[in-house]
Amino acid sequence: MAKPVLTISSKNYGAWSLRGWLMCRLAGLDFSEKIIPPDDPAMKAEMLLLSSSMLVPSLQHGGVKVWDTLAIGEYLHEIKPKAGLLPADAAARAHCRAICGEMHSGFSSMRGALPMNIKAHFKNFKVWSRAQADIDRIVAIWRECLKAYGGPFLFGKQPGIADAMYAPVVTRFLSYDVALDSACAAYCKRVMELPAMKEWVAAAKQEPEEIDELDAEF
């Protein structure tokens, strides 16, 4: 079987690409990357936050092609069950799927007001009220999970699909100087210290040119 291929966009701006890529890394999948150019319509669609289900990221694995981020996570769980991407306990697994679904379809105000930009740091960034409401809900989710499952990750001792889904939020909170309590700040630090996250961030910082998220025509 040919080596799996994951199609992604910008590592600096591509939040959904990061989610799919991190899931593959956490699953231990040996894959190659296909990075689409900045003028590709799929790249522009992701930059404009038009959908969480565009063709970026997409995973080609043998004769199987999976392009929705949650579907990628579920597929990886099926082919790599020992990786522990989803919790072993049924109740915890349902909880995990619920908060992943919430990230997949929600928080549009936060995502729009604080677009992912790993290379940037906006000190004392003013967060508007609707975006703050999204931030408050995310923080509540993190606190609940860390308390219920004991940390250091959202569902216990190892990172999984939920952590991948919220990883771009972690980068946003750092880029936009979002104030966090000690538990959530520590969680952000743990996510950023993952070897895979260090690899992604290093690559993002090497991207040669900035992309204007709004410079697109449809």
**Residue 40, pLDDT score:** 67
CATH number of 5-83: 3.40.30.10
**Residue 120, pLDDT score:** 93
Helical residues (DSSP H) of the chain, grouped into ranges: 15-27, 41-47, 69-79, 90-105, 108-113, 129-149, 161-175, 182-192, 195-205
Give CA–CA dist 107/126, Å, rounded: 17
Q: Which of 77, 68, 93, 63 is nearest to 28 (CA)?
A: 77
Query: Strand 64-66 vs strand 5-8: parallel, antiparallel, or unpaired?
Result: unpaired
3-class DSSP assignment, residue 131: helix
Sequence ranges of the domains in the chain: 5-83, 90-201
Equal CATH topology for 5-83 and 90-201: no
Mean pLDDT, consecutive 10-residue segments, the chain of 218 residues? Answer: 89 93 98 83 59 74 92 97 97 98 94 93 93 98 98 97 98 96 98 98 86 41
**Residue 49, pLDDT score:** 55
**Residue 76, pLDDT score:** 98
Give CA–CA dist 72/174, Å, rounded: 26
**Residue 55, pLDDT score:** 73
177 Rama sector, left if φ>0, alpha if ψ -120 to 50, beta otherwise = left
CATH number of 90-201: 1.20.1050.10
**Residue 217, pLDDT score:** 30
Give CA–CA dist 114/205, Å, rounded: 18
In the chain, the largest separation of any two C-alpha atoms, in whole Å, equals: 50
